[in-house]
């Protein structure tokens, strides 16, 4: 831990909290997330460690917001304990249930400090948000560590290049923050323009343009519909794209399209989603349903016998946490049903259209008050060894990673 750096961050927060004539807000969230996994016979982890595997995350988040006139400062302090049987194991892409950020190695600001670690656990504390924001009548500026989301994906997020959620992530309360600059401009016709710059560090710890992002996004309403266009540079590649959101009766149709021009070979890669969702009453119960198609332009049509044989452009994005699936075409179906005002069930089926494997996830949520949530769920892989959702090949079909039957319990409480 660097005490000077930590003290400097605390002074920044303390100074903001001491600012006069402002509205100070403070919230506290505690979370526990436990996962049990029955590993398949062909699992590499089972071969080395046995089955079942149990893992957990405990998380305490202190959230401060201080506003003075047009200025506001947001600071989220996070203490995170991760551990269990799979702690040191690399799981299958797309199988992530919890995406708590515990490493700032490639962020511009290193605001994470390790308190304790071992073969089966890690305890860190960090600032996940530390941003200053100015809001004028038609201008807005945000600088610091903050979360940003682009795109309209419900399960898959091809337009969200900045710390997106994996398709099976359960805990989506807080997206990981990035070190960024955002400038927003609102026009008289209701359209707006946003500049986004995200700074990062390379493997040597240097902050360079080759590992950073800068883009412009323009949004405009056309009647009841909404259109977005964007273009920019992401790492060393050029990215362009757009989104449409069109109401159809009581449903909403959305589409995102992203074209990436690779710097190394000048190839163009196109990814995108098309989804439709609808809220309705079913036998007097509040219900919701959706369908989404996803094309992953970086994906492969057939899995190689070893992950090291995957295309470099795909591997890089898997490691950066931008892409979570290995193949090209997917469809997701799902929805929620409110059994009781306090009980809601969510169900999602994700199918790989290339190899025929699927993953089924269902969660039952109990919300006894505005302060507490208790969730229990299961994730069921469907397919054969060597197929993406049933076990990605490590040494052919004989040894794979992922493809576990999982049960999980998540408890959240806001003080």
pLDDT on residue 10: 46
Model-wide pTM > 0.85 = yes
pLDDT on residue 20: 52
Are 115 and 157 spatial neighbours (Cβ–Cβ below 8 Å)? Answer: no
Are 275 and 298 spatial neighbours (Cβ–Cβ below 8 Å)? Answer: no
Residue 70 to residues 25, 33, 129, 136, 407, Cα–Cα distance (Å)? 16, 38, 19, 7, 46
In 3D, which of 145, 211, 157, 210 has the Cα closest to residue 182? 145
Task: Please name every residue paired with 372 in a beta bridge, in sequence order, or none if there are none.
Answer: 413
pLDDT on residue 51: 94
DSSP SS3 for 45:
helix
- Per-residue pLDDT tens over the stretch 153-209: 999 999 999 889 999 998 888 999 999 999 999 999 999 999 999 999 999 999 999
% of the chain at pLDDT higher than 70: 92
- Per-residue pLDDT tens over the stretch 335-361: 999 999 999 999 999 999 999 999 999
pLDDT on residue 95: 40
Torsion angle of the four alpha carbons 315, 321, 327, 328, in this order, in degrees rounded to the nearest 10: -110
In 3D, which of 127, 124, 123, 110 has the Cα closest to residue 12? 127
pLDDT on residue 103: 86
Token pair belonging to 328: 């090209």
pLDDT on residue 277: 97
DSSP SS3 for 121:
strand
Are 102 and 124 spatial neighbours (Cβ–Cβ below 8 Å)? Answer: yes
Residue whose tokens read 């490493």? 103
- DSSP output for 333-347: EEEEEEEETTEEEEE
Are 178 and 145 spatial neighbours (Cβ–Cβ below 8 Å)? Answer: yes
pLDDT on residue 2: 46
Token pair belonging to 342: 């306090």
Residue whose tokens read 């977005």? 228
Helix (H) or strand (E) holding 100: none
From its phi and psi, is residue 78 left (phi > 0), alpha (psi between -120 and 50) or beta? Answer: beta
pLDDT on residue 329: 98
Are 100 and 80 spatial neighbours (Cβ–Cβ below 8 Å)? Answer: yes
pLDDT on residue 265: 86
Q: How many CB atoms lie within 10 A of CB 383?
A: 18
Decide: residue 12, CB within 10 A, 0-12 exposed, 13-18 middle, 19+ buried. middle
What topology is assigned to 3-409 in CATH? Porin (2.40.160)
Q: Which residues of the chain have pLDDT under 70?
A: 1-22, 88-98
What DSSP state is assigned to residue 3? H
């Amino acid at each position: 831990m660097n005490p000077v750096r930590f003290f400097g961050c605390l002074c920044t927060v303390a100074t903001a909290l001491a600012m006069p004539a402002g509205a100070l807000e403070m919230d506290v969230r505690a979370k526990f997330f436990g996962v049990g996994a029955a590993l398949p016979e062909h699992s590499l982890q089972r071969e080395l460690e046995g089955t079942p595997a149990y893992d957990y995350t405990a998380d305490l988040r202190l959230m401060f917001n201080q506003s003075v006139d047009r200025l506001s400062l947001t600071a989220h302090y996070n203490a995170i304990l991760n551990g269990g049987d799979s702690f040191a194991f690399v799981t299958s892409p797309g199988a992530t249930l919890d995406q708590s950020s515990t490493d700032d190695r490639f962020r511009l600001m290193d605001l994470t400090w390790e308190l304790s670690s071992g073969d089966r656990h890690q305890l860190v504390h960090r600032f996940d948000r530390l941003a200053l924001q100015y809001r004028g009548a038609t201008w807005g500026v945000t600088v610091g560590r903050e979360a940003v989301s682009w795109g309209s994906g419900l399960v898959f997020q091809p337009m969200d290049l900045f710390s997106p959620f994996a398709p099976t992530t359960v805990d989506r309360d807080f997206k990981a923050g990035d070190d960024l600059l955002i400038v927003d401009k609102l026009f008289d016709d209701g359209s707006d323009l946003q500049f986004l710059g995200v700074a990062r560090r390379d493997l040597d710890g240097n902050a360079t343009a080759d590992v950073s992002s800068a883009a412009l996004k323009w949004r405009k309403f056309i009647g009841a519909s909404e259109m977005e266009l964007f273009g920019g540079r992401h790492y060393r590649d050029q990215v362009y794209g757009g989104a449409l959101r069109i109401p159809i009766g009581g449903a909403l149709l959305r589409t995102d399209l992203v074209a990436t021009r690779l710097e190394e070979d000048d190839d163009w890669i196109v990814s995108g989603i098309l989804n439709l969702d609808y809220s309705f009453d079913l036998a007097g119960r509040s219900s919701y349903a959706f369908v989404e198609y996803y094309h992953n332009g970086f994906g492969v049509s057939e899995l190689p016998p070893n992950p090291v044989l995957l295309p470099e452009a795909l591997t890089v994005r898997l490691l950066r946490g931008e892409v979570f699936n290995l193949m090209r075409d997917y469809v997701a179906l799902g929805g929620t049903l409110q059994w009781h005002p306090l009980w809601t069930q969510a169900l999602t089926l994700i199918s790989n259209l290339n190899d025929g494997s699927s993953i089924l996830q269902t969660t039952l949520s109990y919300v006894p008050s505005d302060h507490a949530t208790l969730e229990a769920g299961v994730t069921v892989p469907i397919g054969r060894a060597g197929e993406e959702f049933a076990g990605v090949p490590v040494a052919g079909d004989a040894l794979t990673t992922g493809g576990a039957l999982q049960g999980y319990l998540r408890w959240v409480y806001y003080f």
